[in-house]
Amino acid sequence: MTLWLAALVAIGVWAAAGLLASFFPPDLSRTPYPSPEDAEREMDDLVRTHPRRIRVESIGCSREGRPIRAFRLRGDGVERRPRLLVTAQIHAVEYVGGYVARRVARLLAEGYGHDPETTGLLDAAEVVVVPLLNPDGAERIWRARGRTRLGWARFTQGGVDPNRNFPFVPVAGKPAWNSGRDAPGSAYYRGPHPLSEPECLALAQLARREGFCGAVNFHSFGCVVYLPEVPGVDREKAQRALRTFHGPFQSRQGCAYRPVPERSAAIVGQLDPFLLHGLGTPSVTIEVSRPGWQLLWPRRSFHVFSIANPPDPERWAENDAAATIHALAEMLARTQGTPCVPAHPELADAVPASGT
């Protein structure tokens, strides 16, 4: 009984310390993560350093008017080539995803002509990297010093979970605990209608226009790779591409991530099934990093930014960036550079054409 009482007191002290610390959030500028503005400058420097290898374009604007930037990396040679997509930080607080996406871009730009796999990939395909899909949310999190509620850790400035805002077909079956919700205020609120968020519309228009043969989307955290359920049309080709994440991807990681299939009924409105089912692009979600013992410190355990982002992003960039380049090369080979036949082409019809 004495031990139980001591344990309860210790837990109470820990919780009280955490709640008190939450009123004094840490200065994010003292973390290894750059501010959204510094991350933009980092990418601008990369473009200036490698002007022949990378170019930047705005694919749209956020609700508050911030540009959503795509970085196109390619080798020398032919103009028209297959395209692959890398995205990150669709959820506002998931800075580590953007950190890894920027590292992928840097390895591609710097590795061309030096690393055989990187050179071969960029000579055969163009890789489009969108490292910050939710710029309003990222700026909001930075201003709040990472102190926020779960919903606003995810939302666009419109109060919508952008990874539930993509066109979908209703699927019979049991939803998941984190399935999209129709109630405003829910952390998984899908919005008033698909593509209500300009950030999602910009990405959907890009994907419709480009016809990507593979896509990787960085989130945090959990050390898993989520794979969408493959529908009947062109099933063999899509499964072959997605099997890249049942071994080849993990073979290049120090900390190997577990592949986790997701049921279509559980993930309607998410980016992966929209890309695969609507546009024929095999697409996966990579949950970067895993919680560590540092979350036992009260100052971190009640701080949303610290929960979502590990204190050592460099470790995870090294773990994931080169492995992602290998996976992109595998997806290119397994799809032969073309998208699959979409099971629900009507989803593409829900995306207004863009002249960009």
Q: Is residue 355 part of a domain?
A: no
Q: Is residue 110 part of a domain?
A: yes
Under DSSP, is residue 98 helix (H, G, I), strand (E, B) or coil? helix
CA angle 39–44–46, rounded 5-degree value: 100
Sheet with 54-61: strands ordered across:
54-61, 67-73, 126-130, 83-88, 215-220, 283-288, 224-228, 258-262
Q: Is residue 56 part of a domain?
A: yes
Q: Is residue 334 part of a domain?
A: yes
Lowest-confidence segment of 16-20, 129-133, 292-296 by average pLDDT: 16-20
Counting the structural domains of the chain, the total is: 1
Residue 18: pLDDT above 50?
Answer: no
Residue 333: pLDDT above 80?
Answer: yes
β-strand 258-262 against 224-228: which pairing, if any?
A: parallel
pTM, two decimals, is: 0.93
Q: Residue 42's domain spans which residues?
A: 2-349
Lowest-confidence segment of 77-81, 160-164, 328-332 by average pLDDT: 77-81
Residue 351: pLDDT above 60?
Answer: yes
Residue that wins the pLDDT comparison between 343 and 11: 343
CATH number of the domain encompassing residue 91: 3.40.630.10
